[in-house]
Amino acid sequence: MIDAIGDYYRTYNANTHRAVYALAEEATEAYEAVRDKVAKFVNVKDRQEIIFVRGTTEAINLVAYAWGRGHVKPGDIIVTTEYEHHSNIVPWQLVAEERGAVLEYVRIDDNGELILDDLDRLLGTGRVRLVAFSLMSNVLGTITDADAIISKCKAADVPTLVDGAQAVPHMPVDIASLGCDFFAFSGHKMLGPTGIGILWASKRMLGEMVPFHGGGDMIREVHKYESTWNDLPYKFEAGTPNIADVIGLGAAIDYLERIGMKNVRSHEVLLTKYALEKLSAVPDLKIYGPKDASRRGGVISFNFQSVHPHDVAYIIDEAGVALRSGHHCAQVLMEKLDVAATSRASFYLYNTTSEIDALVESLDAVAQKFAVRGKKEEDGAVK
């Protein structure tokens, strides 16, 4: 991936879709070839429906701006879920506020799974304009029952947006068979570079949308007082694109394709199962999300009842274990779980069970340091 980016800058650095010289041709070809790779990787039939953006966040904001502002009416309901990343909440808050619409949440149960009765109830109002949800929670690891949600929404003629940032790197994803209307994901979570992501939307949807950014490449003709738009996907790719990182993403996809996403997934199921088993033996440790590794991805969030995750991460960093602590850009979920933060271990194709042993060992040391006994009267101060 790094070589592919370096190679571009060293040997065929030129802008795309403009000049007619050979280098520019080569850059354009390499850039457009990745569009085909992406389309194949997530099973999209029409390459014109693949839009390169900066990341999942920009993809969702693009939909919120270019579709939401034109389609959401006062009194409408936008539905999201309690386990969304901020990037699938805040854009909808902005649209709801601007359009006088309401944002509603599908709640989660004690197992960290969505309560789909909430969705039925909301769809029953006849006022839902969009349902936006993550295919895999970046905190709980829960794999969303997307088929159930999308079929309910289709029956009610409500479009769906799927945040695939956590799912696409970790399991096979087939957008065609999902049947959603918008799908967003990021390069940096799938061994690719930062600053590159993808929005997929059906041609019908993209056709109904106004441009997000105006500028070069997205136009057909520009006159003094009006312009016409370029064809898809370029209508939504204004300005010089992030050519190098698109090419880098292509190399990451090649790598993942060689390993096979089914193999990535089964390796992670194995690690997750192992980790869930080992972690449940650590004293006083609460594990969030589904306990069944086949229903979840390889992120495991947990908390000691009486040691703050920040302290946990800081202490075990010394043992060489990199553990994320914080709200994981999911403060709505933290509020629901009634915690300020959680510790989160994330696994990918390069992790091993011995690394999980190291994690568990260092957690045991933390428990010892704080003399964790799980006494109830001491729970007041630290949550």
Partner 1 sequence: MSSGGNADIYHEMIVDYSRNPANFGKIEDPDVTFHDSNPLCGDSIDIDMNISDNTVSDIKFHGKGCAICMACSSVLTEITKGKSLEDVRAVGKDDILGELGLEHLQAVRIKCALLSLKVFKSALYTYLGRHMQDSGSSADPAAADAATSSEEIDRLKEEVAGLY
Q: Which residues have a catalytic role annotated?
A: 329
Q: Which of 325, 333, 356, 360 binds partner 1 (CB under 8 A)?
A: 325
Beta bridge partners of 183: 162, 200
Pick the piece of the chain touching partner 1 (CB under 8 A) from 7-15, 51-59, 251-259, 300-308.
300-308
Q: Is 315 in the site for partner 1 (CB under 8 A)?
A: yes
Cα angle for residues 247, 252, 258 (degrees, 5° grid): 130
Q: Binding to partner 1 (CB under 8 A): which residues in 235-274?
A: none
Cβ proximity to partner 1: between 16 and 138 the closer is 138
Cβ proximity to partner 1: between 24 and 319 the closer is 319
Q: How far apart are CA 218 and CA 224, in angstroms?
A: 16
Q: How far apart are CA 145 and CA 117, in angstroms?
A: 13
Please work out the total of residues on this chain that contact partner 1, with binding judged by CB under 8 A.
Answer: 26
Q: Which of 136, 251, 307, 337 binds partner 1 (CB under 8 A)?
A: 307
Pick the piece of the chain touching partner 1 (CB under 8 A) from 67-75, 204-212, 291-299, 309-317.
309-317
Q: Is 318 in the site for partner 1 (CB under 8 A)?
A: yes
Q: Is 117 in the site for partner 1 (CB under 8 A)?
A: no
Phi, psi of 102 (to 5 degrees): -120, 140
Q: Is 83 in the site for partner 1 (CB under 8 A)?
A: no
Q: Is 90 in the site for partner 1 (CB under 8 A)?
A: no
Q: Parallel, antiparallel, or unpaired for β 342-346 and 299-304?
A: antiparallel
Q: What one-character DSSP code corresponds to residue 229?
A: E
- What's the token pair of residue 122? 């909301």
Q: How far apart are CA 250 and CA 188, in angstroms?
A: 12
Q: Which of 26, 145, 311, 361 binds partner 1 (CB under 8 A)?
A: 311
In whole angstroms, how far apart are CA 260 and each of 103, 143, 176, 349?
Answer: 38, 19, 19, 11
Q: Is 116 in the site for partner 1 (CB under 8 A)?
A: no
Contact 326, 343 (CB under 8 A): no
Q: Which of 331, 336, 348, 358 binds partner 1 (CB under 8 A)?
A: 331
Contact 317, 299 (CB under 8 A): no
Contact 328, 344 (CB under 8 A): yes
- What's the token pair of residue 28? 């354009």
Q: Which of 120, 314, 352, 353 binds partner 1 (CB under 8 A)?
A: 314
Q: Is 322 in the site for partner 1 (CB under 8 A)?
A: no
Q: Is 382 in the site for partner 1 (CB under 8 A)?
A: yes
Cβ proximity to partner 1: between 119 and 345 the closer is 345
Which residue reads 């992670």 in tokens?
A: 268
Q: Interface with partner 1 by CB under 8 A: which residues?
A: 306-311, 314-315, 317-318, 325-327, 331, 334, 339-341, 369-371, 378, 380-383
